[in-house]
Amino acid sequence: MRAPAHTLATHAALVALLAAGLGACSGGTAATGSTSPASPATTSATPMADDAASPSASTSPDAALTSVQDLQAGDCFLPSSTEPQTSATEPASPQPQDSSAPAQVPSQIDLVTVVTCSQPHLYEVLSVTRLSEAALPELSALREQASVACQEAVSPYLENQTEHPTYRAQFLSPTQTSWKAGDRTLLCLLTSSDSTELTAAATR
């Protein structure tokens, strides 16, 4: 049985807080995605902004797949392209073959390919938080929690970026389906600012 999905989202709220000037606090952002109901064992991407992230074509059909619920801080990964998930409003896009071009990432992700961070990847996990609410929070509440949970982890990578940023932040949150199955993980992620693949661990 496949593991329940998570929702991938862009953390616009965190970006806004940083833009407002969080003084000595380092800045950070969360990545965008589209929120939609997930099928069992699928992780859903919750949008924090309007720009969407995309999965890369580098995922090999023969590569071992890992549930997003098993990801840990420091893991670098590519969303699985073997069975792309789609949101209620966005059709799945074909995987591009040019790794220099932005890939199309499904709004819901259940399985990923974990790779060493020196290999091409789309995301690096910066922190993992366990949600404690009795019911799955609304998107606005999830964004607020991600702002708090992810800020410390992502700000060192984002605070000194120039007008041509290298990174942006995103988070993965449970979907209704995965929540009912016991999923409580909120993942803070770092990805490239233009949704192209990274080929090294993130640098501050």
* pLDDT tens-digit readout, 47-102: 333 333 333 344 455 568 999 999 999 999 999 854 433 222 232 223 333 334 44
Question: How far is the C-alpha of 197 from the C-alpha of 60, rounded, in Å?
Answer: 15
Q: Is residue 198 part of a domain?
A: no
Question: How far is the C-alpha of 77 from the C-alpha of 41, rounded, in Å?
Answer: 17
Q: Is the pLDDT of residue 106 over 50?
A: yes
Q: Write out the residue range of the structural domain in which residue 170 sits.
A: 6-192
Q: Is residue 145 part of a domain?
A: yes
- Which tokens hold the place of 164? 């041509």
Q: Is residue 202 part of a domain?
A: no
Task: Share the mean pLDDT of the chain.
Answer: 69
**What is the model's pLDDT at position 83?**
40
Where do the DSSP E strands lie in 64-184? 66-67, 76-79, 108-109, 111-115, 123-130, 167-174
**What is the model's pLDDT at position 125?**
97
Check residues 15 and 104 and name the one with the higher pLDDT. Answer: 104
How many structural domains compose the chain?
1
Q: Is residue 75 part of a domain?
A: yes
Check residues 43 and 187 and name the one with the higher pLDDT. Answer: 187
Per residue in 134-182, pLDDT (tens digit) is 999 998 999 999 989 999 999 999 887 877 889 999 999 999 999 999 9
**Helix H or strand E segment including 150:** helix 139-158
Q: Is residue 203 part of a domain?
A: no
Q: Is the pLDDT of residue 111 over 70?
A: yes
Q: Is the pLDDT of residue 124 over 90?
A: yes
Q: Is the pLDDT of residue 11 over 50?
A: no
